[in-house]
Amino acid sequence: MIVMVGLPARGKTYISKKLTRYLNWIGVPTKVFNVGQYRREAVKTYKNFEFFKPDNEEAMRIRKACASAALKDVSAYFTKEHGQVAVFDATNTTRERRAIIISFAKERGYKVFFVESICEDPEIIAENIKQVKFGSPDYVDRDIDEAMEDFIQRIECYRANYMSIDDEKDRKLSYIKIFDVGSRYLVNRVQDHIQSRIVYYLMNIHVTPRSIYLSRHGESELNLSGRIGGDAGLSSRGQKYANALATFMRGQTIKDLKVWTSHMKRTIQTAEALGVQYEQWKALNEIDAGVCEEMTYEEIQENFPEEFALRDQDKYRYRYPKGEAVKWSHFSSILKQSTHTEKDQW
């Protein structure tokens, strides 16, 4: 179990979703259990921050019941759906609540890894509230200033009883603390390979979303003849595409646009039309087709019929003779690096 910890507007749900997507992508079945969704099912209409006051006994009873229901679903996910990782997305700001989760996991033989997001920078918190909470069902049709004020009050309700994971008292727990959206990290007792992957990934993301634009290069001279690979420059139509892409990107009015290309001429020429600095990454190169470089698919079928058939059966895992496979490309490292940068990029 991955258990989120932290006050509201600290990016916990964003981290949960990103981490879940990443783990599923690398082949680890993972699911998020957001306790806030259980609360919205139990209480159809949200009124104001008073629901989250520690002395609101009726609301506290409902919130505990929602957390219990989410934990029950976590158990069902592991036993019936054969999941491997469950992300328990809630504030979990008290030692009592975390002790309940630890006891629940221990009884069932689950490992627990805590992810605490700590942030006291007012500007970052305000931006998180605007980016995340104004899209929340709790504030549909609410005035922006009213929603902001209510949510700030909600944070204060949690702050009253908030107890961070203690470096001394909780030294036997496995956890990562993320300070001020990645300015500093504290990692304790990483137990296995999956937890190591989680830590590495979390140290390469930010809690505020950014735009990432992905584009093919313009048509190359080798594309005209249907040949794969090679390092040809753009055709005349490819240059038109590069110019059209540049026009589109200028229309996005992105400040400090960061551009990454491969080492291939066709991608560099496409990027040059943008008129901004770009960075070349070898890991973005098209996969090496080995002995099939600069051949057409017809030529591959004629000269290497068995290889052609194998590729047709599984394009993801197939590896060209003396070449590469999509599965073993370095693109995943680029994706992780792109989530770490603070700028919008193409």
The answer to whether 52 touches 94, Cβ cutoff 8 Å, is no
- What's the pLDDT score for residue 339? 59
- What's the pLDDT score for residue 331? 62
Catalytic option among 66, 170, 217, 292: 217
- What's the pLDDT score for residue 205? 80
User: Would you give per-residue pLDDT tens digits along the chain (346 residues)?
Assistant: 999 999 999 999 999 999 999 999 999 999 999 999 999 999 988 889 999 999 999 999 999 999 999 999 999 999 999 999 999 999 999 999 999 999 999 999 999 999 999 998 988 888 888 775 666 888 888 888 888 899 999 999 999 999 999 999 999 999 999 999 889 999 999 999 999 999 999 998 865 667 889 999 999 999 999 999 999 999 999 999 999 999 999 999 888 899 999 999 999 999 999 999 999 999 899 999 999 999 999 999 999 999 999 999 999 899 999 999 876 656 666 666 665 555 555 5
- What's the pLDDT score for residue 305? 97
- What's the pLDDT score for residue 140? 83
The answer to whether 118 touches 164, Cβ cutoff 8 Å, is yes
**Tokens 């995340």 appear where?**
132
**Tokens 């990107």 appear where?**
249
The answer to whether 89 touches 34, Cβ cutoff 8 Å, is yes
Helix (H) or strand (E) holding 85: strand 85-89
Catalytic option among 127, 180, 272, 286: 286
Told to judge if 286 belongs to the known catalytic residues of this protein, a careful annotator would answer: yes
Catalytic option among 66, 116, 119, 170: 119
Catalytic option among 89, 116, 170, 219: 89
What domains lie within the chain, and their CATH numbers?
A: 2-202 (3.40.50.300), 221-287+329-340 (3.40.50.1240)
- What's the pLDDT score for residue 203? 93
Helix (H, G, I), strand (E, B) or coil at 222: helix
- What's the pLDDT score for residue 272? 98
- What's the pLDDT score for residue 340? 56
Rounded CA-CA distance 341/338 in Å is: 6
Considering the chain, what is the average pLDDT of its residues?
92
Told to judge if 180 belongs to the known catalytic residues of this protein, a careful annotator would answer: no
